[in-house]
Chains A and B, each alone.
Chain A
Amino acid sequence: MTSEATSRQADQIPADLLAEIEERITHYPVSKRSASLPLLHLWQNHFGFIDDSGIEWIATKLELTPVNIYELVTFYPWFRREAAGKTIIRVCRTLACAMAGSYGLREKFCEAAGVDVHHESHGFGHAPPTSPDGKFSVEFVECLASCGTAPVCLINDELYESVTPEEVPSIVKELAAG
């Protein structure tokens, strides 16, 4: 890195991400603005979160003003303005899972992953509570639509069903190794 190098995400877009962005915009022949959410997903998947330069870059790309993108980032719980852990453990909080013990499950995951159990986070761009080593984030999310196999959690892209507190340490150990 030279001294002129920046940490702005918009200065570090690789060619394959750019190609994916261009292709994704073609899915919306009537209005480019419809590509806002897909672009935010692509951006966050690549960079881990969305910084100011990302908001400005996407807005410019879609011929919008930054506030059009900013108001989405601050509305949807999925998007973050800061880095989360490498592995994100999303424990379902809603009724069927709560009845099946998801509150205790979240505590178990926090304990096993080294995440502060008292730290709760609810959107607005904040990253979910993360372990000091940056390996894990653990958070409650609302209904994951798998109430028949409660309690469930979504760990990165994988759904874990009928999770018992006893198996939490081994799940976390496996994730840490993987």
Chain B
Amino acid sequence: MAEAFMAYPELRNPFEAKPIHPEGSATVLYQGKAITLSSLGKGDGLLIDPADLTQINGFVLKAEGACFEDLCIPMTDDVLIEQDGTQWFSLTAFAALLGQPFVADHEAGVWSFAEIPAKRENMMLNAQAPDLEITDRKGSVIRMADLKGKKALIVTWSSW
């Protein structure tokens, strides 16, 4: 075996094992955020309180559907669901409507969503910078939209 190079095995599991969220809750991962939800409907998919939708993916429920900027997705019966007089929003059925891939660990109650394809069309088709929000080492939040008026070079690297 050659000499180890760029090896950080001590970082494999540096964290103490602990619960991801309180019992009965779920965690949603999207665009780098982890949001814990305590109000959940019953079923195979992820049924959330419609009031939680905006904090997860920016969509707002309106009369014409779930809307983000000028994109509105009409609601269907498998997205807006009523259970025992309470209305739920199926985030997983909505993802299917949007063609948004996701991975779920049902045992742990964690759903991780990839980007919504419609939000990326402007980059893929017109080479417009994507809608992206990142936090720098000083804790400042940087949005691509904030860079307008300046030229920007975004370059990735790694310690490995």
User: Does chain A bind chain B?
Assistant: no
